[in-house]
Amino acid sequence: MLPFPLVLSFFITVFCSLLSVIAEGNVQCADGGLDWYTNVVGETPCKTYERLRQICDPQYEVGRLNRNTPPDICKRGHECCCNSISFGLSMLCLSCQQGFSHDPTGLDAVNGTYKTYLNNCSPVTNKSFTDDIQAAVCKNNIKIFDDMYDRIFWDDGSWFYEWTRERLSQDLAVNPGNTFTRCGFVSASDNSPTSPALNQTTVGSDSSTSGPSGPPGLPGSITSPSTTPSPALSSASSGSSTGLSGGAIAGIVIGSIIVLGLWAFFIYMWRKRRASQSAPEGPSVGRLFDPQQMVQNTRAGRQEWESLGAGETITRNSNRRVS
């Protein structure tokens, strides 16, 4: 009996982590072509782009970007994307999602693409953010290369991956530790304090204690159903939220609730079966839900569990006396 819930919760855990992997897929790169960026910034350009846009729209998810440029389109009223930096990040993200097997030199954009990306948003800020967005970028610890502000910009609204990569790599080689100065970042120390986003609660995570995203763990005490599994499980559900999108968090929470519910159910059934096995005149399995029998079973079961807990062996005789 016991191995079955164990196996079941294993599969549910796998399912939950799959769910979070799928949700994370859009901010992960198809291959290692952008490792030069990810290794320095600590996240993919898609994640940087997503976090930037989440300043204005906490629900924003990067999704699958359009291979026909522009990869994404700014939303009216969203200052976060109404600038050339956001456009540049969306282009880097596109190459990240597509990978470099078909396009060894990344994906470029023709003249006029930036204008299409802006989608008549306002106010447009070329080569900078508005002051409040810049403040939020720093507050949220979003690392953006200095070069993404003023160097990586084409007046005709085009964009070139290979030029960008070379420019940034060169800068990293020449000015190591000095490529993120807009917020006073120094690459060498990644321990800058993190504070919550401006005017928003970071979706689903109050995250000082939560670790990196990952599959919710199985409870350590899985071999003994008499210990309560809930603390381990509920901490698993809250521990996997950092960096996950709202949908993924919801999925994990729902998954964890299902796991908890199934655990409760199986533990209940297991105790019941134990109770009926130790009381020979007890109910047949076919009458499990007879309320009167249930009360008797529960009483017998409890008695047995208490005895077990106290380290005593119980005999059938003592059990019979109870019921």
Ligand X SMILES: *[C@@H]1O[C@H](CO)[C@@H](O)[C@H](O)[C@H]1NC(C)=O
Q: Which is nearer to ligand X, 163 or 305 (CB)?
A: 163
Q: Which is nearer to ligand X, 77 or 231 (CB)?
A: 77
Q: How far is the CB of 51 from ligand X (least distance, A)?
A: 14
Q: Which stretch binds ligand X (CB under 6 A): 106-114, 281-289, 295-303, 312-320?
A: 106-114
Q: Which is nearer to ligand X, 66 or 111 (CB)?
A: 111
Q: How far is the CB of 126 from ligand X (least distance, A)?
A: 4
β-strand partners of 125: 83
Residues 70-89 that bind ligand X (CB under 6 A): none
Q: Is 119 in the site for ligand X (CB under 6 A)?
A: no
Contact 78, 121 (CB under 8 A): yes
Q: Which is nearer to ligand X, 155 or 281 (CB)?
A: 155
108 C-beta neighbours (distance < 10 Å), count: 18
Q: Which is nearer to ligand X, 126 or 235 (CB)?
A: 126
Q: Is 31 in the site for ligand X (CB under 6 A)?
A: no
The torsion of the CA quartet 265, 271, 275, 277, rounded to 10 degrees, works out to: 90
Question: How many residues interact with ligand X (rule CB under 6 A)?
Answer: 13
Q: Which is nearer to ligand X, 31 or 156 (CB)?
A: 156
Q: How far is the CB of 120 from ligand X (least distance, A)?
A: 12
Among 28, 119, 126, 207, binds ligand X (CB under 6 A): 126
Query: What are the backbone dihedrals phi and psi of residue 309, each rounded to the nearest 5 degrees, phi first?
Result: -60, -35
Q: How far is the CB of 195 from ligand X (least distance, A)?
A: 13
Q: x/- binding map, residues 198-217, to ligand X, per CB under 6 A? A: xx------------------
Q: Compute CA distances 206 → 26, 194, 238, 314, whole Å.
A: 23, 12, 9, 48
By beta carbon distance, the residue nearest ligand X is 112
Cβ-based burial of 246 (10 A; exposed 0-12, middle 13-18, buried ≥19)? middle
Q: Is 112 in the site for ligand X (CB under 6 A)?
A: yes
Those residues whose C-beta lies under 8 Å from the C-beta of residue 226, and which sit 6 or more positions away, are 305, 308, 309
Q: Which stretch binds ligand X (CB under 6 A): 39-47, 59-67, 112-120, 296-304?
A: 112-120
Q: How far is the CB of 77 from ligand X (least distance, A)?
A: 12
Q: Compute CA distances 323 → 123, 283, 320, whole Å.
A: 79, 12, 5
Residues 131-160 that bind ligand X (CB under 6 A): 132, 136, 155-157
**CA angle centred on 22, ends 19 and 25, rounded to 5°:** 150
Q: Which is nearer to ligand X, 40 or 135 (CB)?
A: 135
Among 111, 181, 315, 318, binds ligand X (CB under 6 A): 111
Q: Which is nearer to ligand X, 124 or 294 (CB)?
A: 124
Residues at the site binding ligand X, with contacts judged by CB under 6 A: 111-112, 114-115, 124, 126, 132, 136, 155-157, 198-199
